[in-house]
């Protein structure tokens, strides 16, 4: 497993390219902008793009999707259904659904496979109702649920502070240490967050 990270767009969203280098396949997580540059990143990896995975529907995490589909018309795009909206509806906080050829949904407990890498989907509402974390061996792609020392905003219309505390507490109860790869800012580790993140610590008491 190899993970490349880059920042895209005006809000500097972290986009991750997750590669199974033996199987030569990869997935893009949160292609928030700059699809041409992300396409180059995929090409340089030598891996075939197998799927696009979205941690939630905010525009800064998914605005690059349609540009990537121009290069990869058959790639499935996964998101939690609660963070989608009818096509054509203008809403920066929800992902306008694609046609059935590309659109896939995932929900709590689902798994997706990128070659030999299995990602488990956790529904982690709070930042948005359909926020998810993607968890694999030793790594959490935490979207805007868990940041280094902090957590995502909950003041959007479908945000919930009680919910994000519950979600953070659940992450904190995972056994062992994990790399935390968030949707913005620096990477972290779960052990660090258990010690220093006031929101996660509060969540652990609930």
Which residues of this protein are in contact with Zn ion, per CB under 5 A? 58, 144
Q: In angstroms, what is the minimal distance from the CB of 139 to Zn ion?
A: 20
Residue 20 vs 34, nearer CB to Zn ion? 34
Q: In angstroms, what is the minimal distance from the CB of 176 to Zn ion?
A: 27
Q: In angstroms, what is the minimal distance from the CB of 187 to Zn ion?
A: 17
Q: In angstroms, what is the minimal distance from the CB of 168 to Zn ion?
A: 15
Instruction: Say if CB 136 and CB 171 are below 8 A apart.
Output: no
Residue 39 vs 144, nearer CB to Zn ion? 144
**φ/ψ of residue 196, rounded to 5:** -120, -10
Residue 61 vs 170, nearer CB to Zn ion? 61
Q: In angstroms, what is the minimal distance from the CB of 128 to Zn ion?
A: 6
Residue 97 vs 127, nearer CB to Zn ion? 127
Q: Which residue is nearest to Zn ion (CB)?
A: 58
Q: In angstroms, what is the minimal distance from the CB of 138 to Zn ion?
A: 24
3-state secondary structure the chain: CEEEEEEECCCCEEEEEEEECCCCEEEEECCCCCHHHHHHHHHHHCCEEEEEECCCCCHHHHCCHHHHHHHCCCCCEEECHHHEECCCCCCCCCEECCCCCCEEECCCCCEEEECCEEEEEEECCCCCCCCEEEEECCEEEEECCEECCEECCCCCCCCCHHHHHHHHHHHHCCCCCCEEEECECCCEEHHHHHHHCHHHHHHHCC
Residue 71 vs 81, nearer CB to Zn ion? 81
Residue 144 vs 163, nearer CB to Zn ion? 144
């Amino acid at each position: 497993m190899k993970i490349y990270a880059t920042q895209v767009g005006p809000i500097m969203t972290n986009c991750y390219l997750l590669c199974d280098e033996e199987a030569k396949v990869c997935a893009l997580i949160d292609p928030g902008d700059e699809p041409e540059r992300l396409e180059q990143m995929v090409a340089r990896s030598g891996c075939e793009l197998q799927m696009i995975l979205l941690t939630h529907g905010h525009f800064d995490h998914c605005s690059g999707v349609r540009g990537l589909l121009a290069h990869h018309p058959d790639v499935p795009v996964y998101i939690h259904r609660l963070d989608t909206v009818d096509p054509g509806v203008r809403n920066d906080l929800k992902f306008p659904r694609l046609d059935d050829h590309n659109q896939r949904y995932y929900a709590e407990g689902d798994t997706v496979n990128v070659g030999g890498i299995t990602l488990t989907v956790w529904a982690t509402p709070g930042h948005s109702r359909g926020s998810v974390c993607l968890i694999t061996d030793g790594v959490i792609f935490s979207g805007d649920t868990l940041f280094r020392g902090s957590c995502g905003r909950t003041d959007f219309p479908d945000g919930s502070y009680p919910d994000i505390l519950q979600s953070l507490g659940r992450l904190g109860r995972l056994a062992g240490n994990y790399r935390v790869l968030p949707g913005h800012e620096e990477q972290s580790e779960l052990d660090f967050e258990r010690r220093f993140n006031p929101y996660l610590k509060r969540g652990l008491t609930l």
